[in-house]
Amino acid sequence: MYNSWEELKKDCMGCTKCELCRTRTNLVFGTGNENAEVLFIGEGPGQNEDLQGLPFVGRGGQLLDKFLAAVDLDRNKNIYIANMVKCRPPQNRDPLPAEQEACIGWLREQVRLMRPKIIVCLGRISAQKLISPDFKVTKQHGEFIEKGGILFMGTFHPAALLRNPNQKPDALEDFLKLKEKIKEICERTY
């Protein structure tokens, strides 16, 4: 258990708990406001993220920033963004269950320190791990589910939206629902 983000980040940055440590260029710890009420959780770093050490900085990240801006959210101000695994899986494959299990402790500590009111799962991997193992993004996106005092919502991963642009209107609706929910239950985000 950690009492500060500094201690947590320092230990996490040296992590060798799974094989992904061998192939990473940079560990991607997360970015944003550590006191945010809304936490976004993706799957894992891709090539650009691995090179820069930051989450969602490629084309998918630019699309995510557009959706965020549409509902007055900003990764530099009022949200935090992290991933299920902090190191890039080779060739952008899905993180293996064992890698997710090895890494989840870091995310748990981030959540414990932040105590967000809302967690948005970006894509199947994080929604199935954090909301329910049989979560279907195409059917259940935009639904709020309470777990342990936190409201979870799953939506499309930005990379999936780049592959299937016809899902963008549904994704925008999810973000609009998120905005309404934030207005309802959060005090410091807007």
By CB under 6 A, name the binding residues for ligand SF4.
Answer: 15-18, 20-21, 27, 85-87, 99, 102-103, 106
* Residue tagged 């963004």 (tokens): 81
Give the N- to C-terminal CA distance of the chain in Å, as an integer. 30
- Residue 18 or 151 with smaller CB distance to ligand SF4: 18
| Structure-block tokens of residue 82 | 């992290």
Decide: 177 and 118 in contact? Cβ < 8 Å: no
The distance of closest approach from Cβ of residue 146 to ligand SF4 in the complex, given in angstroms and rounded to an integer, is 27
The distance of closest approach from Cβ of residue 15 to ligand SF4 in the complex, given in angstroms and rounded to an integer, is 3
- Residue 103 or 120 with smaller CB distance to ligand SF4: 103
Q: What's the Rg (C-alpha) of the chain?
A: 15
User: Pairing state of beta strands 144-147 and 118-122?
Assistant: unpaired
Residues in contact with 86: Cβ distance below 8 Å, sequence separation at least 6, in sequence order: 12, 15, 27, 28, 29, 44, 45, 103, 106
- Residue 42 or 161 with smaller CB distance to ligand SF4: 42
The distance of closest approach from Cβ of residue 169 to ligand SF4 in the complex, given in angstroms and rounded to an integer, is 34
- Residue 86 or 129 with smaller CB distance to ligand SF4: 86
Decide: 119 and 131 in contact? Cβ < 8 Å: no
The distance of closest approach from Cβ of residue 106 to ligand SF4 in the complex, given in angstroms and rounded to an integer, is 6
Decide: 21 and 60 in contact? Cβ < 8 Å: no
The distance of closest approach from Cβ of residue 35 to ligand SF4 in the complex, given in angstroms and rounded to an integer, is 23
Q: How many CA atoms lie within 13 A of 135 on its CB side?
A: 25
* Residue tagged 């494959």 (tokens): 93
The distance of closest approach from Cβ of residue 26 to ligand SF4 in the complex, given in angstroms and rounded to an integer, is 11
- Residue 17 or 177 with smaller CB distance to ligand SF4: 17
- Residue 63 or 87 with smaller CB distance to ligand SF4: 87
